[in-house]
Structure 1
């Protein structure tokens, strides 16, 4: 699950146990915060088997560390910077046993009146809407990862964000940008724009459009195709209840001769009571052309999470609904249509 600062703000409204970063320095004009998490996770699925390994268990543990700072220029304008890295264990026993991934690395300026302008490795404008449904601990937030301009995070992103009590507007542009997604989200130029409006205190509706070129080979001299994504998102909150749905459609491509239309949907229904949360998610992504079967997703997941201050324990089961004809295959020709079960323990600081 990919939680951003905006998503944490939403989650904090219904889950009082979301940890805040600790302030390690503060004076009249400057603040420096540090935070992170240690999270051990175990995934059990036949999908973890390979031609050489018959083990259904996969360790998905990780550590995240972040630093964020703000310096006030005046009562309206501040300079801001934020960085976060994720560390995981490398499965290669003969190499370095730690892999480091940059999740965020950006800086910019924030105005209480005119909004924020930031540049670096950060969320796209689209992330505001896709976070409506990307709220589960495990099985949510799949459908937007196949376009650089809609994925949760990408590098070389210039983003503008403006919001009032009811209206949110964001726009982002990328140049030669890679995302944290897959081979269709590399070396791309593009843009995205979203608008969201709170119809009531409980109901928010948003629309968005994004476009990038595609270059799966990683070479700028090769032919590129177009990735077009449009979305509509709806979120309803009422005390501990959160209901949200996102629809996406458009065109996905690797090159100018390898393209496909697609349709996608994401849904989240969760209820928080006391220190507990139960939720159900639905994730669907279907490309028309079989050459993109490795991107297809169709599952329903059930999850329970228990919060103990900064600590969280959770478990989730995902029912894979993909047919053999819509799923990609592993080396032995078997379709990847297996269910998944994942448990985890997280300590945030």
Structure 2
């Protein structure tokens, strides 16, 4: 597999991390096809999304399947495509089944000396910044404030360029409805010592007769052997016509002990300021212990200490969550 093929696969793989290398199922005449995914049991105790569990356990398990491939067009140009879907579980006493797959990613693109350009349902440019701290079980809210900076967005055109220590992304959302376009740009610069700095900006229209949302996201991370530290901060407004501002912060740390065991910790807080009133969307600490039996299967125990009050916006019962997980990745 040549370097250009590897780069194109990396662009597709950036959309999803399964914890294991996808299996190569076809390789001939410059064309590669890879299949990957995960089967993950996730059992939540005490609380489920902040709401108290009346019984013993809420089942938030999931199954993901992805298919990605590349094809060599000539010495300087290749094409690639990627698809991923997810099936969840209906956690109910009636033992209901959920059979529908939810589409997560579906895009195709071209890779060359200029970088890569892809088209379809995919992450916007700012997601590479939010991913700096989205490394534990319950993290990831930094990307969710506005659609123009979120993941898995339809009608997205994405440019990716890697220039030695600098990774640059730019995205444009070609909205189907009137006044729903969006755009974003981001970059991460990583020093040889393992210290990285990220900055991104996103903005998008909210529809006809509505305003515009915008977000600035900044991140920093540091890698030293098995230690990883990261923090991100997001600020902006969901709609410039409604005076709805937001702020979010997320900090994460992971350390691998070299024997298969990894310890993870995180803190997240997100809030909205609506017409001068501040409401908390999330506020929690997380501690997780993960044990990898091998590169394909791992088990983990995660505890989320919910700091929200019952009167906070979206807090429900503001319960903690204890999650037991077992994940097989392929």
Fold conserved (TM > 0.5)? Answer: yes
Paired residue for 2:291?
Answer: 306
CA distance in 2, matches of 1:49, 1:132: 25
Unaligned runs of 5+ in 1: 12-17, 179-186, 216-220, 330-334
TM-score for both structures, normalised by structure 1: 0.82
Q: Does structure 2 conserve the Cα–Cα contact (< 8 Å) formed by 1:7 and 1:135?
A: no
Aligned partner of 1:280 in structure 2 is 265
2:268 is the counterpart of 1:268: no
Residue number in structure 1 paired with 2:80: 80
Q: Deviation at 1:165?
A: 1.9
May I ask how many residue pairs the two structures share in their alignment?
316
- The alignment status of 1:339 with 2:320, answered yes or no, reads yes
Q: Matches of 1:209 and 1:49 in 2, distance apart?
A: 31
Q: 1:292, CA displacement in angstroms? A: 9.5
Q: Decide whether aligned partners of structure 1 residues 267 and 177 sit closer, same or farther in structure 2, where only a CA change above 3 A counts.
A: farther
CA spacing shift, 1:177–1:157, aligned 2, 3 Å: farther
Residue number in structure 1 paired with 2:108: 107
| Cα distance change, pair 341–50 in 1 and its aligned pair in 2 (3 A) | closer
Of 256-265 and 85-94, the range deviating more from structure 2: 85-94
Match of 1:184 in 2: none
Shift in alpha-carbon separation, 1:194–1:292, aligned structure 2, 3 A: farther
Contact 1:188 1:212 (8 Å CA) reproduced: yes
- Contact kept, 8 Å, 1:261 with 1:288, in 2: the verdict is yes
Distance across 1 between alignment mates of 2:103 and 2:276: 30
- When residues 82 and 326 of structure 1 are mapped into structure 2, their CA distance, relative to the original with a 3 A threshold, is same
Cα displacement (A) at 1:140: 1.1
3-state SS of 2:298 partner = strand
Show the 5 A alignment for 1:1-349: 5-6=13-14, 18-47=19-48, 54-55=54-55, 57-90=57-90, 97-111=98-112, 113-136=113-136, 138-176=137-175, 188-215=180-207, 221=208, 223-253=209-239, 258-274=242-258, 275-289=260-274, 296-309=281-294, 310-328=296-314, 335-349=316-330
Whether contact under 8 Å (2:126, 2:184) holds in the other structure is yes
Cα pair 1:42 1:342 within 8 Å, conserved: yes
Gap change, CA 1:226 and 1:61, over 3 Å in 2: same
